[in-house]
Structure 1
Amino acid sequence: MTVEQLAKERQVSKSRQWEQAMSKLYINFRDYSKDALRDFGDEDIHQARVNSRKLLTLLSILDPGHSVTAELYGTFRQAQKRLGKVRDADVLIASFKDRRKAAQEAGEAKTADLLKAVIKHQKDKRKVFRKKLEEELPKLTGKGLEAQWDAFVGGQLETLAAKRDANVVMRELEVAFEQKKKACKTLFKGPEAESKEAFEALHELRIAAKELRYTASAAAFALNQKFHGHEAVYKEIQEQLGVINDKRVWLETLNSIGREELDVGKKTWAAFTESLKAEVLEALHQNEVVPVTVTAK
């Protein structure tokens, strides 16, 4: 076998690896999406979203600017967005149900009533998100997507796979993560540690960790051994920062609804929102990713 033939064989083998990995994710995404529309099962919604996220990750590795895969990328992105709205509502409702149960067990009737009102409000919003998902997901996972997918696998994938190296992308993501981490450390060394800017920087760091986690997971077949443990490492980082972000989202959700809309007394509202603020700060000071060196207020 000549050098040229050997190079061609390696290229074909590489594109087959990409095709096998992406096809599995595509089938999972399609099947879970179909199941999700039956009864909006939270695990089906979650898995459809995860598989779409991994497909978006791999498409971004192959075609960073989405100049070649714009249509296909856009379809998966829109599906992920609709799935994400429902999934986020599911998670928030579940967390507030747990809080309501705890409040009831502690004999905190007014707090339990507040949480009941929040849950009802979020369930109403979820109905809207589910309706949009029900309307749009069949279009996003139907014959149009199948045609886009077949065109990508049959005509674009081999060329793109030959040009891109997932290991290079991982290194680039690591550099970006470390830069964001450095920026966070600077903010958390002084009086700005509890500022909006600091929380936004931490949110960006969480997103960077999530990108590394999904890249390590979705592109494991194409990565060197040294990257094989990265999924677990960055999952732990993402989860630590996620606790802070989740509590911030809960607080922002409450404030966006407003006390009057929920028909809650001022005293009950103030007590609960202040306790939630305290939880945000506690989670911030307990995180081990970017230690906060100022004294908690």
Structure 2
Amino acid sequence: MTVEQVAKEKEKQISKTRQWEQALNKLYINFRDYSKDSLKGFGDEDIHQARVNSRKLLTLLSILDPEHSVTEPIYSAFKQSQKRLGKVRDADVLIESFKERRKQAKSAGESKTAELLKAVINHQKEKRKKYRKRLTDELPKVLTKELDEQWEAFLVNELEGLAAKRDVNVVMRELEVAFDQKKKVCKALFNGPEGESQESFEALHDLRIAAKELRYTASAASFALNQKFHAHEEIYKKIQQELGDINDKRIWLETLHSIGRDKLDVGKKVWNQFTDSLRAEVQEALHGNEVVHIAPKPNN
């Protein structure tokens, strides 16, 4: 290789590193700002954005350093933040979904169902208080000057070497292959002798996570991806949402059963009517999804 070629390669690598640095730094600044804002009033959007930016940071760090041998301290910090933010965010979403259902029940004159949903909402608000308390206690321990210093040291000392070794396009292809394999497993389980078993729904959950990973990789690493992958964020966002709809309805049902009818002080008839309607919604969403085709049962 000539001196000129060496210089061009070096310039190319510097440009690649700069792209990574800009993308990572933007996410880091957003993560810190939204995290601090979320502690002031637990605003829905602040919590959501802090969580999204920490998720994207985790995605990019996993691409650069799959074993986390170099990035472990900062990766662990983002992972811990993601967990605590996620608990609060999931509670927010669950509460809002039950509030909307309560509003619908009241409009339909279903007062007993509205009372059931109010009891569930109050129960979930108490759980959210605990999640918020843990977030308040633990997130400031992450957002420290030490983390800033570790982050800066990573960008200066480690990023160039890691970026030189990784091709995001290869990672995307590997994620696509993994998604397709999970899809085949999921389809086989749902159409197999066990049908809608716990194992089948766990496989569906894994497939949703795989779609989410593809979506976030396409979004966070768009600066380094070939044109053919640029539509992947929207493609896998749609898939994630469709599978998420099934998962959300199952979570609503599981939440009710985890609390129990006695604790909610609800009559058996109202309880059965509402839980039966949720089961029917799970079935409708499951059999209507376009991601994993589920063949109708012979006796249907």
- After TM superposition, the score normalised by the length of structure 2 is 0.97
Partner Cα separation in structure 2 for residue 44 and residue 140 of structure 1: 17
From 24, 27, 30, the counterpart of 1:28 = 30
The runs of at least 4 aligned residues of structure 1 exceeding 6 Å deviation read none
Deviation of the 1:193 alpha carbon: 3.0
Q: Percent identity?
A: 72
Partner Cα separation in structure 1 for residue 105 and residue 99 of structure 2: 10
1:45 aligned residue = 47
Question: What SS is found at the alignment partner of 2:194?
Answer: helix
2:207 matched to 1:205? Answer: yes
Partner Cα separation in structure 2 for residue 158 and residue 124 of structure 1: 47
1:139-158 equivalent positions in 2, closer than 5 A: 139-158=141-160
> Which residue identity lines up with residue 60 of structure 1 in the other structure?
S
1:54 aligned residue = 56
1:175 aligned residue = 177
Unaligned 5+ segments in structure 2 are none
Contact (CA 8 Å) 1:193, 1:294: kept in 2 or not?
no
2:143 matched to 1:110? Answer: no
Contact (CA 8 Å) 1:190, 1:294: kept in 2 or not?
no
Partner Cα separation in structure 2 for residue 119 and residue 243 of structure 1: 20
Unaligned 5+ segments in structure 1 are none
Once the two structures are superposed, residues 140-160 of structure 1 have per-residue CA deviations (whole angstroms, 9 ceiling, x without a partner) of: 112121111111111111110
Partner Cα separation in structure 2 for residue 94 and residue 248 of structure 1: 16
2:190 aligned residue = 188
Partner Cα separation in structure 1 for residue 151 and residue 99 of structure 2: 40
Between 1:180-189 and 1:221-230, the stretch displaced more is 180-189
Question: What SS is found at the alignment partner of 1:292?
Answer: coil
1:80 aligned residue = 82
Contact (CA 8 Å) 1:188, 1:294: kept in 2 or not?
no
Deviation of the 1:191 alpha carbon: 4.3
Deviation of the 1:192 alpha carbon: 2.9
Contact (CA 8 Å) 1:100, 1:115: kept in 2 or not?
yes
1:6 aligned residue = 8
2:253 aligned residue = 251
Partner Cα separation in structure 2 for residue 114 and residue 145 of structure 1: 45
- After TM superposition, the score normalised by the length of structure 1 is 0.98
Between 1:161-170 and 1:133-142, the stretch displaced more is 133-142
Partner Cα separation in structure 2 for residue 91 and residue 290 of structure 1: 25
Once the two structures are superposed, residues 215-267 of structure 1 have per-residue CA deviations (whole angstroms, 9 ceiling, x without a partner) of: 00000000001100000000000000000000011111111111111111111
Partner Cα separation in structure 1 for residue 101 and residue 29 of structure 2: 37
Partner Cα separation in structure 1 for residue 192 and residue 23 of structure 2: 46
> Which residue identity lines up with residue 286 of structure 2 in the other structure?
L
Partner Cα separation in structure 1 for residue 146 and residue 78 of structure 2: 12
Partner Cα separation in structure 1 for residue 153 and residue 137 of structure 2: 25
> Which residue identity lines up with residue 158 of structure 1 in the other structure?
E
From 223, 226, 230, the counterpart of 1:224 = 226
Deviation of the 1:190 alpha carbon: 3.6
